[in-house]
Structure 1
Amino acid sequence: MSKKRRLAYLALLGNTLIWGAAFPIIKPALAFHSPYEFLFLRYAIAAPLILPILVHAKVKFTLPIKKKILPIIALEVIGVPLLLSLVYTALDHTTALSASLIGLTSPLFTIIAGVLFLKERETTKELKGLFIALIGTLILTLSPVFKSALPTGDLVGNSLMFLYNILWALYLILAKKLYSGVPKILVSTISMWIGLFFFGGLVVISGGLPHFFLSLNPTTLIAGGYMGILGSIIALTLYLYGQDKIEASEASLFTYLQAVVAIPTAYLLLHELPSLWQIVGALTICLGVYIGESKFRKKRMFLI
């Protein structure tokens, strides 16, 4: 194995560890802050820190890139508030483990969107795998119903994560052509500053700024620092480095490994264990991914 490939694997493994553990680490902070307050804290840390990385990247603002800046801002203004609000509100209602497992199925919805809107063709084998994996996703989403005749807020959170997967796929379809040829670090910088201004503005307008500062405690600061520094800056840098050095299909396999991190982390930090139906759903998804792996390996999740 070459040094370049070995370093790429290490970078993607580091990214997998950070992003895989994210939801179990964030979950306790939502007991003290609303999702919007936590997102404000996250981006208040991340947005300034990404600027030196952007400068170091020496992005060349060519004419084609300059023409895309305003459309990118417009799409991110819609995408960042909507998508992240869904994710963190879902996490506020369901378990960290459920949110992690359902969120990791987003590549399946990207494939469906490609078929519907981009007229991408799938083989019979790939369609079978997709269908089986979607059944597994539905089992995961509806698992609270199977556990109890009166499902709690878990079903609401799971449904929001399912909706997020659909909207994320539509976002990627819109972004596919627009972001072509645009450095990912530039898009990420724009996204983070939009997140800072939007969620910060929301906290101020709602009158929640005093509560935000009064509610700061070690739990929220650790979670905010984790996502602001590790989740947004370091994991992003590792991801961009790794996927740039090896084939996209290889790099995307690390996305599915995040579940291997999420499950033990959720148990160690939150004492969450997968239910029987979650195990059935996860195994069904694995079977579907295995059957249609040639296609699924090309789809990857890139959630900032």
Structure 2
Amino acid sequence: MTPFHLLGFRFAIAFLSLSILRIIGIININLKGKNLKKLFLLALFQPGIYFICETTGMLYTTSSEAGMMIALIPVAVTILAAIILNERPTFLQSVFVALSVGGVFFIIFNRGASPIEGNYLGLLLLGGAVIAAGFYNIISRQLSLEFSPVEITYVMMGFGAFLFNLIAIYEKNFNLTSYFSLLSNKDVMISVIYLGVLSSVVAFFMMNYTLSKITAAESAVFANLTTVVSIVAGVVLRNEPFFKFQVVGAVLIIIGVWGTNYFGRPVVEKGEEIYEKV
């Protein structure tokens, strides 16, 4: 499968899953009279621009370079949150965000990766993905005052299904028979269902819910735990070797995530006057 073919199926399954839950009454989606323009702007950044830039950018860079660029998302979110939302991190929070990012870089460099150098188009595209992820965190936090997390997730999945399937069908020269034939492949379906239901619906719902409760910077830094999870999964599920430098990097990431949230400003419930105006 091409990357956009997989993304198209992934978000189609995600949107279909949420639509079924909506039809049988398990979730409630009410978008009438709300700020749909800003909600579609959010969906344009994530999953739209983010996945297009990340998927295309990785074609021109190494996986290590991509990992280092994506690890900068918490930094971008912290800066944008301070400028747009007036959510200025404390000094200690800034230190722990940097510590978390440093943990990711430490693991990547010790794997034998070279410093970022090479195809600037790929790095530019990955930079676009970082910025898109930053704006997604900011806009989702803003919209949490008006939309429920499941409503935000629903529109994101629908937009992703439309956009990525459109791109993938165009790549297939509009040959729909060939396009849908892969759905008969068991391995494809297992992967697509996992990515659509767990990695898309569940994960993005959790992200949107988290952004309605804590600051954008405190939420974004959790993304670096992906590196820790991937190391554990590789060792447990794929019998990959486990190195001391991975332990050091993982500890730095975990401490960074903990410190960013522990030393955050007091959490204030939505609607109270001293809640950060967004």
- Shorter-normalised TM range: 0.5 to 0.7
Question: Which residue of 1 is the match for residue 196 of structure 2?
Answer: 228
Residues 62/42 of structure 1: CA separation in 2 closer, same or farther (3 Å cut): closer
Map 1:9-158; keep pairs closer than 5 Å. 33-55=1-23, 56=25, 57-61=27-31, 63=33, 65=34, 68-88=35-55, 106-140=73-107, 142=109, 146-147=112-113
TM-score by length of 2: 0.67
Aligned-partner residue type, residue 129 of structure 2: Y
Question: Which residue of 1 is the match for residue 275 of structure 2?
Answer: none
Q: CA RMSD in A?
A: 4.6
Greater helix proportion:
1
TM-score by length of 1: 0.62
The one-character-per-residue Cα deviations of 1:30-61 (angstroms, maximum 9, x if unpaired) are: xxx12101011112222122113335233444
**1:143 CA drift (Å):** 5.2
Map 1:235-246; keep pairs closer than 5 Å. 239=206
Q: Which deviates further from its counterpart, 285-294 or 76-85?
A: 285-294
**1:232 CA drift (Å):** 3.1
Q: How far apart, CA to CA, are the structure 1 residues paired with 2:244 and 2:122?
A: 19
> For structure 1, which runs of at least 5 residues remain unmatched after alignment?
1-32, 300-304
Q: Which has the higher contact order (CA 8 A, sep 6+)?
A: 1
**1:106 CA drift (Å):** 4.0
Percent of paired sites with the same residue: 20
Question: Which residue of 2 is the match for residue 17 of structure 1?
Answer: none
Q: How far apart, CA to CA, are the structure 2 residues paired with 1:125 and 1:150?
A: 28
**1:195 CA drift (Å):** 1.1
**1:80 CA drift (Å):** 2.0
Residues 136/204 of structure 1: CA separation in 2 closer, same or farther (3 Å cut): same
Question: Which residue of 2 is the match for residue 189 of structure 1?
Answer: 154
Question: Which residue of 1 is the match for residue 256 of structure 2?
Answer: 288
> Matched residue pairs, number?
257
Q: Indicate conservation of the 8 Å contact 2:225/2:253, yes or no.
A: no
